[in-house]
Structure 1
């Protein structure tokens, strides 16, 4: 007969094993959540579902991260209590006022952020979407970021901006990645700000547009993540897809301007299902599926989870001028899925 001590020992061991099992389950759940892709909620359309239904659609499909392009009050109200993590954008045209007027920045933060805390899970505020160095708003992006951050006064919500990849003057091979001479006076101070504040740089990365601009030199399989072998060798780095090569070119460019510790978040990436060269439902399904799986493993230079946002939740019938711009949706406006994607995590 086992002694009381042995019985208690076995009971304690069983309890410990049960606790470890529960902790493992919890870790797996939160790790999966942390590695899930986000989806951009563009709203340039006149046939989209009510915002509350959109939030329900995100939740029903396990989409735990959202990017919106402006502080739409109806969207923010619908997000209350949803637990969806949010990137919220500042209108490009608002940058000048927010840069020149600290009181305006305080009002913006109070109206669009603090009024919804803690019910809405803000993660990032982006000032400017694809503003080019020679745009009239370019001089105001960084001062607006600084004023917004001062108004937030929180390390939990980071302030950044969104660039397009044309800011790179060189990107091939990826190790040659560098910002163009025109871009450096604009982007260098922003990178310094991000490095100081621990915020990431957001970039819209579209292999589709790179492919259609150079179908002679870029193979479709390289753009769709379906290349059977290595396409580009760059020192000890090997690339099978254009998406990873593009992101790594940006990482190399950041290193060259003092941003080695600045992480990159892909704020948009997608493939159109109609309206142009190689824009088919099958190609788009292939791209989105592979983008989801590849984001978990990062890039050859940074083989770690790469936070990525798919563009976009719905087709947007008022975008343009190209027909492809209206066909990036994962869902039709009637909320039916365009593709059978197995998971967003």
Structure 2
């Protein structure tokens, strides 16, 4: 959503549906997006912003309860699949991540809700999470991969075909996310990070891909 020329949420949902894109990640609980996702049956990964992790990690369950009740329970017409606890949390704030993750795992069970908790890993903290967990389910999120549109086309096309069949050891579909839906002209960071979109802001596809 980091662009000043992006289509409105209702057009984005329609674009997902017309291209058979069945999942969406929201980096924060954007109310306009949540409203148009109701009844769409698009599977949603809803992120908890990093600036809320400290309060959620406290012993009091109020903050975790409020998030789940406000954004998940109150939107039962949305097909939530994951609650993503933070996004690439840096080392300074990493102390809050695991307590917050436990709160959401507990709250999901308490509320008899099927949503799973997940985390988008900062490479700097991988060793910390591996010391603390012996078994992790990993979902690959694709992004910084190519310097030209032609290379990106080849990479995406091969990746989509690969995840349909899996690996020799696990010959089954692999869950993966492609980052991102649109180019984002106001995004911070290197210039290349503004051009990760599968679509241009005018909703025209940048690559010839099939999601079926």
TM-score (normalised: structure 2): 0.91
Please tell me whether residue 149 in structure 1 is matched to residue 17 in structure 2. Answer: no
SS in 2 for 1:160: strand
Q: Give the secondary structure class of the aligned counterpart of 2:118.
A: strand
Counterparts of 1:164 and 1:298 in 2: how far apart (Å)? 25
Distance 2:196 2:167 in 1: 24
> How far does residue 270 in structure 1 lie from its aligned partner after superposition?
2.9
How far 1:73 sits from its partner (Å)? 1.1
Unmatched runs of 5 consecutive residues or more in structure 2: none
* CA drift at 1:149: 2.4
Aligned with 2:165 (options 297, 302, 308): 297
- Cα distance 1:304–1:166, how it changes in 2: closer, same or farther (>3 A)? farther
Q: How does 1:112-191 map to 2 (within 5 A)?
A: 112-117=71-76, 119-132=77-90, 135-153=91-109, 154=112, 156-167=114-125, 183-184=127-128, 186-189=129-132, 191=133
- The aligned residue for residue 192 of structure 2 is 324
Deviation at 1:320, TM superposition (A): 2.9
Task: Map 1:197-208; keep pairs closer than 5 Å.
Answer: none
**Whole-angstrom CA distance in 2 between matches of 1:270 and 1:147:** 29
Matched with 1:44 is 2
1:287 aligns with 2:155: yes
**Alignment partner, residue 139 of structure 2:** 265
Structure 1: give runs of 5+ residues left out of the alignment: 1-42, 169-182, 192-257, 273-277
Instruction: Report SS of the residue matched to 2:57.
Output: helix
Per-residue deviation, 1:160: 1.9
The Cα RMSD (Å) is 1.8
Instruction: Kindly indicate whether residue 33 of structure 2 is the aligned counterpart of residue 75 of structure 1.
Output: yes
CA shift for structure 1 position 88: 0.8
1:109 aligns with 2:68: yes
Q: Which runs of 4+ in 1 moved over 6 A?
A: none
CA-to-partner distance for each residue in 1:32-67, whole Å, 9 max, x for gaps?
xxxxxxxxxxx1111110001100000010001111
Does the 8 Å contact 1:315/1:326 carry over to 2? yes
Q: Distance in 1 between matches of 2:31 and 2:105?
A: 21
Q: State the match for 1:344 in structure 2.
A: 211
Give the secondary-structure state (helix, strand or coil) at the position aligned to 1:55.
helix
SS at match of 1:159: strand
Structure of higher CA gyration radius:
1
Secondary structure at 1:264's aligned position in 2? coil
